[in-house]
Structure 1
Amino acid sequence: MQFLIYIFVYPFLWCISKLPFRLLYTVSDGLYLLLYHVIGYRKKVVNNNLKLVFPDKTAKEITTIRKKFYKHLCDMFLEMAKTMTISKKEMEKRFKITNPEEFKRLESLNKSIILIFGHYASWEWSIVLQNYINFKGYAVYKKLANKHFDKLVRDIRSKFNTTLISTKETTSTINQNVANGTKTITGFLSDQSPRLSKDVHWSTFMGIKVPCFTGAERLAKKLDFSTAYLKVTKIKRGYYEAEIITLAEDSNGYKDYELTDMFLKELEKQIYEAPEYYFWTHKRWKHRNNTLS
């Protein structure tokens, strides 16, 4: 069944990837009408999230953000498909690093780098980062249940020589590189909701106290890696810019969870500035009223 679903969907994705961008976004406009107005995909989740973190906004303001978000969501989904056939030149034109010299400076410290970012703007196109760095690039992702789509995602996100590693492979892969003396930069999407446990870190995100992922920080502190935040900004439809913001050159010199909190504050700034580009379909605040004794 997994393969049947794959062979049905794959030709559609490939055809989408071959569309010129002008036509791609025309398709995206149609997808928005279907997803938002007809299907109402996770509209209740999105609405509840927006009302929770923006209690002072009017119903009209919430609706405006919600509609803009769904338009962006459709764009990003089709942009991910476009990555299947996009050229390196086109990708670099549409996703630019504004301060590549900061990557070079961090590399000059002769330490591997942990790069933390959130589900904001276009995290999918951040795979182009490998073109700006000398260190071997890794991106941590959650393995898909459908092995055929999992391979497709790996192929797409590895297009520019970034290596994908599943969450279960992360620690062993990083430790192996340390043992081999290989300098790396490893990207973590760290803003979603973890499973509750007694040792989970609780922090305030968008004014709400929630449990947080701390794996990236723990690895950086344990192995004395540098830590940075990737600030991705949407300039206009189909164009993004990213800035590398160094959080710590010596991560083990910071208190526990301090780097995680710094990351969340940087992400908050972006969300408050342009909330429509955050990934509101996730149930990020689902554990806000839950604690373990």
Structure 2
Amino acid sequence: MQLIAYLIVYPILWLVSILPFRLLYAFSDLLYFFIYKVFGYRTKTVKQNLKLVFPEKSDKELKAIMSKFYHHLCDMILEAIKSMTISKAELIERYKFSNIEVINEIENHERSIVLMCGHYGSWEWIFILQHYITHKGFAIYKQLANNYFDKLAKRIRAKHDTFLITTKEAFKILAESQANGELSITGFASDQSPKANKAFHWQDFMGIKVPVHVGAEVIAKKYDMSVVFFDVKRIKRGYYETTFKKITDTPNNFKDYEITDTFLKLVEQQIKEAPEYYLWTHKRWKHRDKVPTEFK
């Protein structure tokens, strides 16, 4: 069944991916109408999340954020599909880096890097970074249920020298990379929710106590890697600019979870500046009523 689904869907995705951007975004507008207006995809979750973190905003303000968010979500979906066939030159034109020298300087000091981000703005095209640097690129991801689409996702990233690895593979692969004398840059989107009963750390995120992923910090300390946050801004439709913010070159000088907390504050700043670009469809605050006594 997985192969049949792949054989049916793949040609459609490919045809969409070769559309010029003008038509791609027209298709995105149509998708917005069906996802938001007709089917109401996860609108209950989005409303609940927005009311939780912005209790001071009126219903009119929250509705405006929702509408902008769903427009951006549909653009992101279509941009992800566009990744199948988009050229290197077009990616470089549309996804720029304001201060690549931050990464280059760390490379010059021969240090591997943990690159942290939230589900904000655009993270789909960050793999174009590999054309500006020499470090080997890895990205932590959640394996797709369909093995054929999972392999497709890996092929798309590998075209630009980024290799997808699961959280279970991360320690082994990064240990092997270090043993081989390789310098690497490993991307983590670390703002989503772990299971409450497996969380090592709880912290306020947008004013609400939640469990927090700490894997990026653990790996940075274990392998003594520099930690950098990337802040994405949408310049206009289909165009983004990333600014790198170095958190530390000495992760083991930080107290446990201090790096993670710094990262969360940076994501909060992004959300407060332009909330419509955050991924509100995830139930990020679903464990807020399960805070263990020791974390209250």
TM bucket (normalised to shorter chain) is over 0.9
Any conservation in 2 of the 1:197–1:292 contact (CA below 8 Å)?
no
Say if 2:139 is the partner of 1:133: no
Tell me, in whole angstroms, the C-alpha distance in 2 between the residues paired with 1:159 and 1:69: 30
Percent identity over the alignment is 55
**Aligned-residue RMSD, C-alpha:** 1.0
Tell me, in whole angstroms, the C-alpha distance in 1 between the residues paired with 2:111 and 2:281: 36
Say if 2:37 is the partner of 1:37: yes
Question: Superposed, which structure 2 residues align to 1:72-91 within 5 Å?
Answer: 72-91=72-91
- How much does 1:167 deviate? 1.4
Structure 1: runs of 5+ lacking an equivalent: none
1:134–1:278 CA distance, 2 compared to 1 (3 A): same
The residue that corresponds to 2:205 in the other structure is: 205
Tell me, in whole angstroms, the C-alpha distance in 2 between the residues paired with 1:44 and 1:155: 35
1:175-196, CA deviations, whole angstroms, 9 ceiling, x for partnerless residues? 1111111110000010000012
- The letter for the 1-side match of 2:32 is Y
The residue that corresponds to 2:113 in the other structure is: 113
SS in 2 for 1:69: helix
1:224-245, CA deviations, whole angstroms, 9 ceiling, x for partnerless residues? 1110101111111000000110
- The letter for the 1-side match of 2:204 is T
Tell me, in whole angstroms, the C-alpha distance in 2 between the residues paired with 1:199 and 1:62: 30
- How much does 1:199 deviate? 5.4
Tell me, in whole angstroms, the C-alpha distance in 2 between the residues paired with 1:63 and 1:175: 47
The residue that corresponds to 1:186 in the other structure is: 186
The residue that corresponds to 2:289 in the other structure is: 289
Tell me, in whole angstroms, the C-alpha distance in 1 between the residues paired with 2:168 and 2:136: 19
The residue that corresponds to 1:92 in the other structure is: 92
Tell me, in whole angstroms, the C-alpha distance in 2 between the residues paired with 1:263 and 1:72: 23
- How much does 1:105 deviate? 0.7
Say if 2:26 is the partner of 1:20: no
- How much does 1:120 deviate? 0.5
SS in 2 for 1:289: coil
Say if 2:151 is the partner of 1:151: yes
- The letter for the 2-side match of 1:173 is I
- How much does 1:280 deviate? 0.4
Any conservation in 1 of the 2:199–2:211 contact (CA below 8 Å)?
no
Any conservation in 1 of the 2:199–2:212 contact (CA below 8 Å)?
no
Structure 2: runs of 5+ lacking an equivalent: none
- How much does 1:7 deviate? 1.4
- TM-score by length of structure 1 reads 0.98
The residue that corresponds to 1:278 in the other structure is: 278
Tell me, in whole angstroms, the C-alpha distance in 2 between the residues paired with 1:189 and 1:198: 18
Question: Superposed, which structure 2 residues align to 1:48-63 within 5 Å?
Answer: 48-63=48-63
1:62-89, CA deviations, whole angstroms, 9 ceiling, x for partnerless residues? 0000000000000010001111110000
- The letter for the 1-side match of 2:77 is F
The residue that corresponds to 1:124 in the other structure is: 124
The residue that corresponds to 1:64 in the other structure is: 64
